[in-house]
Amino acid sequence: MNYYSLNKKAPNVSFKDAVIKGLAPDKGLYFPESITPLSKDFFNHIEYFSNEEIAYEVIKQFVGDEIPEKELKEIINETLCFDFPVVEIEKNISSLELFHGPTMAFKDVGARFMARCFGYFNKEAKDATKVTVLVATSGDTGGAVASGFLGVDGVDVVILYPSGKVSDVQEKQLTTLGQNIKALEVNGTFDNCQAMVKTAFLDPELINSKNLTSANSINVARWLPQMFYFFFAYKQLKNKKKKLVFSIPSGNFGNICAGMMAQQLGLPIEHFVASTNINDIVPNYLETGIYTPKPSKQTISNAMDVGDPSNFIRIQEIYGNNDELLKKHLSSYAFTDDETRDAMKEIKKISGYIADPHGAVGYLGLKKYLHANSAQGIFLETAHPVKFLDVVEPVLNETIEFPPQILEVIEKDKIAIEISTYNELKDFLLK
Ligand SMILES: *Cc1c(COP(=O)(O)O)cnc(C)c1O
């Protein structure tokens, strides 16, 4: 499969090159040249397939012959080493739990798949040169990338995170692994971290001496595997014979955009709801038709504090840059922190279920949509509540027990290098 740049000013590349480069040379995001729907037969019999078999059917056209079947199946098996349960919360509302992986957020799927693709391409390369994955995180990406890439040959990972602005669990997940994973604790905000990473990607001295790449959802190997769990949810809810509506708590809009790709493959999804916190760029766009990026504002659902969602351009591409068509498939609503806290309380009161702040935003968006529409609603529970203890415990007056994968890192010692300026980052990368 070849990929083109959405800026249309760079040559088309193979899956392998799209994965290794991350972003096209014209700074555009890569998009697959074609999308071929899966057979009716596949959907009719999906309940007889294992998750691994489904994932292989879903991803194979996007990889093409660049990873042989046997290796691709191995990559998928290693990626999907945990469950994706759909849990009913109330009538017609279910939670799709995406937090059963090693770092307890949905980003594990994309990060594990991408890391293993890198591992494969590196093993195959005759002139294996070391790749440095450079990534800024507001919390969850760092942990998922650290865990996904741990021990992958030929890859060094450098993670920048804003000092004091990630939760204790998140900090431990990205600072305690050692080996090929290095954490830089930045005296600043997430926006500062991201700006440093962007500067690095444009710094000729660095790009001439290092193979730098990114690991956020602009990378097709992190973005596309996120299609899988929409199929897994369908498999579990198919017997309800109702129209499916997904509400996705959205920040950079990679996750929801993967759901839309699943729909393009023929998955019968009736409608998408993009639920956001007060970083409401997309809800505003759908209302006004004007896309206005803004500096991000800090909220209790901090993994969605994004003021210029990078994958939105892919969403527009999927629907042919046609706003009417887009609106037929997508609604988008924004919610405040107070509304989010109230929703967490309401969910617990109604069903005993404990949602994290991101899942609660998803629940709110779904409720709002279902108020006027009848369907089977699913919100994506994108992280385990333990990752946002400092929000969840006081709001719900509840003690959250640490699952084993959290206990394991929380006892380890943090190792991070403190930096304040771009030059300190550059020196670190060059040494
Ligand atoms: C990253 C993240 C999101 C946002 O996902 P996007 O693909 O960036 O829209 C939502 N919730 C949690 C818990 C996350 O870690």
| pLDDT range class, residue 218, cuts 50, 70, 90 | confident
Mean of pLDDT over the chain:
94
Whole-angstrom CA distances from 192 to 15, 163, 164, 253, 425 are 31, 11, 14, 21, 12
Residue 107 designated active-site: yes
Which of 96-110, 118-132, 160-174, 189-203 tops mean pLDDT? 96-110
| pLDDT range class, residue 149, cuts 50, 70, 90 | very high
**255 in Cβ contact with 175 (< 8 Å):** no
Give the pLDDT confidence of 23-39 residue by residue, as tens digits: 898 989 999 999 999 99
Give the pLDDT confidence of 277-306 residue by residue, as tens digits: 999 999 999 999 999 999 889 899 999 999
Q: Could you tell me if residue 272 is inside a domain? A: yes
Strands lying side by side in the sheet with 86-90: 86-90, 93-97, 376-381, 244-249, 269-276, 330-334
Q: Could you tell me if residue 150 is inside a domain? A: no
- Give the pLDDT confidence score for residue 39 in this predicted structure: 98
Query: Residue 374 sits in a domain of what CATH number?
Result: 3.40.50.1100
Which of 140-149, 152-161, 196-205, 277-286 tops mean pLDDT? 277-286
| pLDDT range class, residue 328, cuts 50, 70, 90 | very high
- Give the pLDDT confidence score for residue 363 in this predicted structure: 98
Q: Does the pLDDT of residue 126 top 80, yes or no?
A: no
Q: Does the pLDDT of residue 321 top 70, yes or no?
A: yes
Our count of domains for the chain comes to: 1
Q: Range of 271's domain?
A: 70-106+223-400
Distance 276 CA to ligand 1 centre (A): 10
| pLDDT range class, residue 128, cuts 50, 70, 90 | low
Q: Could you tell me if residue 28 is inside a domain? A: no
Report how far residue 211's alpha carbon sits from residue 207's, in angstroms, rounded to the nearest whole number: 7
* Residue 214 Cβ contacting ligand 1 at under 6 Å: no
Q: Could you tell me if residue 382 is inside a domain? A: yes
Give the type of residue at 180: N
- Give the pLDDT confidence score for residue 127 in this predicted structure: 64
| pLDDT range class, residue 194, cuts 50, 70, 90 | confident
Mean pLDDT of 261-287: 98
The least confident of 294-308, 328-342, 357-371 is 294-308
Distance 258 CA to ligand 1 centre (A): 12
More confident residue, 306 or 59: 59
Q: Could you tell me if residue 6 is inside a domain? A: no
- Give the pLDDT confidence score for residue 23 in this predicted structure: 87
Mean pLDDT of 179-184: 96
Q: Could you tell me if residue 176 is inside a domain? A: no
- Give the pLDDT confidence score for residue 130 in this predicted structure: 82
Q: Could you tell me if residue 389 is inside a domain? A: yes
From 9, 62, 53, select the one nearest 31 (Cα to Cα): 62
| Helix (H), strand (E) at residue 394 | helix 389-396
Residue identifier of the C-alpha nearest atom 14 of ligand 1: 303
Residue identifier of the C-alpha nearest atom 1 of ligand 1: 303
| pLDDT range class, residue 140, cuts 50, 70, 90 | confident
| pLDDT range class, residue 50, cuts 50, 70, 90 | very high
Mean pLDDT of 143-163: 94
- Give the pLDDT confidence score for residue 37 in this predicted structure: 98
In sequence order, what are the beta bridge partners of 379? 95, 247
- Give the pLDDT confidence score for residue 113 in this predicted structure: 97
Q: Does the pLDDT of residue 142 top 90, yes or no?
A: yes
Active-site residue identified among 107, 165, 235, 348? 107
| pLDDT range class, residue 323, cuts 50, 70, 90 | very high
Distance 141 CA to ligand 1 centre (A): 9
- Give the pLDDT confidence score for residue 159 in this predicted structure: 97
- Give the pLDDT confidence score for residue 115 in this predicted structure: 95
Distance 383 CA to ligand 1 centre (A): 8
- Give the pLDDT confidence score for residue 125 in this predicted structure: 76
Nearest ligand 1 atom to alpha carbon 358: 11
Strands lying side by side in the sheet with 181-186: 211-213, 131-136, 155-162, 181-186, 417-419
- Give the pLDDT confidence score for residue 191 in this predicted structure: 81
* Residue 276 Cβ contacting ligand 1 at under 6 Å: no
Q: Could you tell me if residue 62 is inside a domain? A: no
| pLDDT range class, residue 397, cuts 50, 70, 90 | very high
Nearest ligand 1 atom to alpha carbon 254: 7
Mean pLDDT of 325-339: 98
Nearest ligand 1 atom to alpha carbon 257: 7
Give the type of residue at 394: P
Give the pLDDT confidence of 364-380 residue by residue, as tens digits: 999 999 999 999 999 99
Tokens linked to 291? 């896309």
Q: Does the pLDDT of residue 431 top 70, yes or no?
A: yes
| pLDDT range class, residue 195, cuts 50, 70, 90 | confident
Whole-angstrom CA distances from 43 to 39, 85, 241, 351, 363 are 7, 19, 13, 31, 27
Mean pLDDT of 109-137: 88
Mean pLDDT of 40-56: 97
| pLDDT range class, residue 46, cuts 50, 70, 90 | very high
- Give the pLDDT confidence score for residue 230 in this predicted structure: 98
- Give the pLDDT confidence score for residue 147 in this predicted structure: 95
